[in-house]
Amino acid sequence: MDLSECTIENDKELLNHSIKKSIRNIQTTVKEFEKNSVECLLCQRDFKIHNIHDLVRIYSLVMHCLTYHCTTVERLNEEDIFVVELFLLKFVMKSEPNDIRAIILYSNNSNERLYKESLSAQLTALFQTHYADKRIAFNCEQDIESLLYKYYKKLEELKRTEIMSKAEYLLLVLYVRREYERFQRLYGRVKKDNFMYKLGLMMNIVDENTPEVLRLCEEYDKYVGEKIEHEKNNTVNNTHKNTENNTHKNTVNNTHKNTENNTHKNTVNNTHKNTVNNTHKNTVNNTHKNTENNTHKNTEELETFLRYIDKKYRLELGEMFDFFERSPSIKLWVSEKTNLNHWEECVKMWSKNRSGRSNYVDNSMIDLCVKYMKFEEGWLIYNNSFGANTSGFSRAIRLCATALRISKNTKWRNRLLEVISDIFEHIENINTIVILENLFVDIEKLTVASFVKVVSELQERLIKAKIDDETVDTILRLYYNASATNGDVAKKLCRYSMDFYSKWSKSKKRFCFFTRKTEYDTKIYSSLLGICDNAKDCEAFYRVCRAILRNETSINREMCRRLENFHTRNCKNCIYKHQQVVTVKESRGFIFHLFE
């Protein structure tokens, strides 16, 4: 195909130039082959192309003619077949999108989805009307057969496979069609370069054939080693050749100065001799060099061609361009591609099972987004999930916290605050305790600035919300754990805790929680004592102690330990110094001692 004759058309003009021209070239060439007496509609009539249905009709008739009507086959333009086939696969091949944004938009647009499914069914039926394979094609994975593969099989049947000069086009088609058995049968027969090795590796990664992947990795390392050694030898030979030429040139110049006549004669003879020798030598060297560079040149042409048709027809061939790049470590490349393949399989599974109004699949997919560090995709799923629930909010918190810790981008802190805002809009329908515990687990590794920002937002929301004793106990326990491990935020958490205590104590006086003392009273006071001690805030500590005595709160062993810790740290040379254990029975007297 002459790329210089092609221009970029819009969608409405896709069939007007290049595709039409390609299928007509194929049709015209096939008609010129020698035929048998089998009835063939392609050879009996002329068909015009107005739409994609006409293209499929001619495509199937060409395949029928090539398979059953032709007795001999000559060279076909493989690029024409390649372009037409990939173009048709866009409309017929079962869609397995691996882009989450595209899946969400596709799922939300039922009209587009139904149109594509209907068009695919029509084109498949049209193909099967005009082409029927007499043998069952066990290894055909798509609803329409591959014309390029049928062309190769016809050449193989006639024992003329050498006519196919660009086997890489067929391998690429088989890769796109995910026809592993056919691919492997041909792949073993082609000469391999960097592109071919990576194409084979990727096909085996997709098929999860680990032994073959390892074998090809070893072959690739050997191939790269030999190439480096060859380039090194060429460098040494060129250096040696230049040295010899310079020495010879100096000798000739010196001889010319000493004996002009004899030198002139010898120079003429030597020049003639050298010209003959150099011509022969250059011919041999150039032949060898052209043989080595031929594969490289073909690879460059293939890359240029693929980039052109990918841009022109939006064939989504982007992943293939990575095959052209040299990799310093093939094992690292394989590892990255394996992870990418696993991710794409997860996306396909999620897409197939995302139906109804169930949140389970979306929640699990957000976990996978965190695992594979696809944070933007996870955020997109969260924003398009079917409903608000405890599990979904917990996963969104983990997503934002992990993304913030890894990327250091403040947009994830803002998104985390947005999730907290969403939580309080649906606080009546979720388990606040579970979300609070998950939140503090996920934010404990953030920077101090981010941690304080998140906790401040949480505090502001909680202090305005109607919460019960269990929630107060949970948040104070989490504040205590955070203040014990992070001294930089202890004073701020102490201030927040005392604000909670003020609200809680006022609520109890108004009987907004429980009308009698509960098990949470002791836990709440215990957490408050620990937080005040961690913050080294004696005034707040004494305030809590007075409240314990005033309200006749039950004291447990944990509260005694926190009283001991405070006493040991703040009361020097005290009569209680040597008595390290304070019993529950004497705890109230011990509190009075602290006031002294």
Which pLDDT score, from 0 to 100, does residue 290 have? 43
Amino acid in position 524:
I
Let me know if residue 270 belongs to a domain: no
Distance CA 150, CA 81 (A): 11
Total residue length of the chain: 596
Helix axes 52-64, 18-31, angle to 10 degrees: 20
Band (pLDDT 50/70/90 cuts) for residue 4 is very low
**309-332 burial string, b = 16+ CB within 10 Å, else e?**
bbebbebebeebeebbeebeebee
Q: What is the pLDDT of residues 215-250, one digit of tens each?
A: 999 999 998 888 878 777 776 666 656 655 555 555
Q: What is the pLDDT of residues 12-46, one digit of tens each?
A: 445 657 888 899 999 999 999 999 998 899 999 88
Instruction: Measure the N-to-C terminal CA separation of the chain; round to a whole number of Å.
Output: 98
Distance CA 396, CA 480 (A): 24
Let me know if residue 247 belongs to a domain: no
Which pLDDT score, from 0 to 100, does residue 548 have? 85
Q: What is the pLDDT of residues 49-93, one digit of tens each?
A: 889 999 999 999 999 999 999 999 999 999 999 999 999 998 998
What does the pLDDT average to over 310-316? 79
More confident residue, 17 or 308: 308
Structural domain that includes position 372: 359-595
CATH number at residue 498: 1.25.40
Contacts of 202-208 with C-beta under 8 Å, sequence gap 24+, read: 202/175, 202/319, 202/323, 202/337, 203/175, 205/334, 205/337, 205/338, 205/341, 206/178, 206/180, 206/341, 207/180
Percentage of residues of the chain with pLDDT beyond 90: 49
Q: What is the pLDDT of residues 364-416, one digit of tens each?
A: 999 999 999 999 999 999 998 877 889 999 999 999 999 999 999 999 999 99
Let me know if residue 245 belongs to a domain: no
> Which neighbouring-strand residues pair with 35?
70
User: Domain ends where: 146, 161, 190?
Assistant: 190
Instruction: Let me know: does 324 contact 303? Beta carbons within 8 Å.
Output: yes
Residue 192 has pLDDT above 80, yes or no: yes
User: Domain ends where: 190, 221, 241?
Assistant: 190
Mean pLDDT over each residue of the chain, to the nearest integer = 82
User: Domain ends where: 190, 210, 238?
Assistant: 190
The encoded tokens of residue 5 equal: 């004759």
Provide the 10 A C-beta neighbour count for residue 81: 25
Which pLDDT score, from 0 to 100, does residue 102 have? 83
Q: What is the pLDDT of residues 437-480, one digit of tens each?
A: 999 999 999 999 999 999 999 999 999 988 888 999 999 999 99
More confident residue, 513 or 139: 139
Amino acid in position 11:
D
Let me know if residue 381 belongs to a domain: yes
Instruction: Let me know: does 553 contact 517? Beta carbons within 8 Å.
Output: yes
Let me know if residue 376 belongs to a domain: yes
What does the pLDDT average to over 91-118? 81
Let me know if residue 481 belongs to a domain: yes
Nearest to 49 by CA among 58, 40, 41, 39: 58
More confident residue, 5 or 459: 459
- Which range of 14-18, 310-314, 531-535 scores highest in mean pLDDT? It is 531-535
Distance CA 455, CA 574 (A): 38
Residue 251 has pLDDT above 70, yes or no: no
Which pLDDT score, from 0 to 100, does residue 283 have? 42
Q: What are phi and psi of 585, to 5 degrees?
A: -65, -40
Number of domains in the chain: 2
Let me know if residue 237 belongs to a domain: no
Q: Radius of gyration of the chain from Cα atoms?
A: 39
